[in-house]
Structure 1
Amino acid sequence: MDMGVDMEEEVERSWSLLSWVASCVMVFGGVVPYVPQYQEIQRTSNTEGFSTRVCLVLLLANILRIFFWIGRQFELTLLLQSVVMIVTMLAMLHLCCSIQSTNRVSTKQHHITDLDLRYFWCWSGFEDYLIFCFAFTVLCAFVTFLFVDSGLFVETLGSLAVLFEAMLGVPQMVQNFQNQSTRGMSVKMVLLWTAGDLFKMTYFVVNESPAQFWVCGTVQILVDVAILLQVFYYGQEARIKLG
């Protein structure tokens, strides 16, 4: 009898440890693919292989997800993941702005205060991106405060959050197509993206997260596969030209 109880306690402890590890991976795993990209940009002083619109998509998605959590409290792990991702994207933007400022030939600069939509998200200073994020957050806070008691609003907010996140890889995929190149990207990096999205998908299903999350996960995996095919295709073309 005691042996059975001890076995149950051991299984329970193991499961708790596994759950804790899974939560840590969920919080920090999403930023892992950006570490080699950050290092590559630093090393080469070239931002050509990275689309800052990825930062835009992730910032919007995670800010909206935080307000979705206020209206419908799901796992705290997913809230912490959003905070970590926002910090990571701001770090990527700061690096890109620093590199572009150093490499800039023209003295003409563009700022958010110019109110010129032609240069939206192509501003010269990091502070412009901070102003945009602050303004967007204040707007979301105001609207959420007004409609937080509406179930329809909260669910719509969640759907918008995951819709932005589901489109995460699309700006990168479009940039690759326009450049006819995946310079700055590697199979290893894209595989890390895909593995991370597969893990997230599994986490959403196991933890019975809101349906919006696993729909988002499915779309992200499909986009990851498309980008992986681009890396193979354009990489092969580059080798043929060099050969």
Structure 2
Amino acid sequence: MDAEVVLQEEDMVGSWTLLSWLASFVMVFGGALPYVPQYQEIQKSSNTEGFSTRVCLVLLIANILRIFFWIGKQFELTLLLQSVVMILTMFAMLHLCCTVQNTNRVSTKQHRLSDLNLHYFWKWSAFEDYLLFCFGFTVVCAVITLLLLDSVVFVETLGSLAVMFEAMLGIPQLLQNFHNRSTKGMSLCARG
């Protein structure tokens, strides 16, 4: 009888472990899933007007900050992996948007990060400029974090800034929809 109880307990533990792994998987990839239909919509229509690339900016900054917050104050590994997946997803979205915009571009004028023109900030023609900006932002964050890692106030501020940026996620898309006076081109999943 005791062996039977032990087997049942092991089955329960195994079930909870499987459920825990499944929940972690959903947490890691769940945040990126709404961008799959948006990606497909842009790819199919060859039109980026319904999607604000500034959503990518907000999520990239939020998730880079969250990674540095994790360095200062370790939290669940699942959330760290979620940030990495979201960063990769946003780079995929930006790459697609650059490709589509360059294919559809009528003007020969290219906008580059090196132009240092604030009017075209985050409206660059080359995907490499987005990577370069994110690399620069990451290096600045790394240096500051390295210098101030022992400061609890700094580490908590990093976490607060990450949450604040993520909370502002809807603003760029709202402004894009207002500017376009439409949600056309925005995936139904993103509209909620």
Query: Under a length normalisation based on structure 1, what TM-score does the superposition of the two structures give?
Result: 0.75
Structure 2 match to 1:25: 26
Across the two proteins, how many residue pairs are aligned to each other? Answer: 191
What SS is found at the alignment partner of 1:165? helix
- Select the structure with the greater relative contact order (CA < 8 A; seq sep ≥ 6): 2
Gaps of 5+ in 2: none
Q: Following superposition of structure 1 onto structure 2, how do residues 185-196 of structure 1 map, counting pairs within 5 Å?
A: 185-187=186-188, 189-190=189-190
Structure 2 match to 1:131: 132
Shift of 1:173: 1.7
What SS is found at the alignment partner of 2:97? helix
- The letter for the 2-side match of 1:18 is L
Structure 1 match to 2:78: 77
Q: Following superposition of structure 1 onto structure 2, how do residues 30-49 of structure 1 map, counting pairs within 5 Å?
A: 30-49=31-50
Find the aligned partners of 2:8 and 2:157 in 1 and give their Cα distance: 45
- The letter for the 1-side match of 2:186 is M
Q: Following superposition of structure 1 onto structure 2, how do residues 1-243 of structure 1 map, counting pairs within 5 Å?
A: 2=2, 3-187=4-188, 189-190=189-190, 228=192
Query: Under a length normalisation based on structure 2, what TM-score does the superposition of the two structures give?
Result: 0.95
Find the aligned partners of 1:178 and 1:130 in 2 and give their Cα distance: 26
- The letter for the 2-side match of 1:122 is K
Alignment RMSD (CA, Å): 1.3
**Structure 1: 4+ residue segments shifted above 6 A:** none
Find the aligned partners of 1:103 and 1:137 in 2 and give their Cα distance: 31
Shift of 1:28: 1.1
Query: Which whole-Å deviations, capped at 9, do the CAs of 1:45-79 have from their partners, x for residues lacking one?
Result: 00011100000001001111110000001011111
Query: Which whole-Å deviations, capped at 9, do the CAs of 1:85-104 have from their partners, x for residues lacking one?
Result: 11111111011001111111
- Bigger mean CA deviation after superposition, 57-66 or 2-11: 2-11
Find the aligned partners of 1:186 and 1:60 in 2 and give their Cα distance: 23
- The letter for the 2-side match of 1:172 is Q
Shift of 1:131: 0.7
Query: Which whole-Å deviations, capped at 9, do the CAs of 1:25-61 have from their partners, x for residues lacking one?
Result: 1111111111111111111100011100000001001
Find the aligned partners of 1:111 and 1:136 in 2 and give their Cα distance: 17
Find the aligned partners of 1:116 and 1:177 in 2 and give their Cα distance: 24
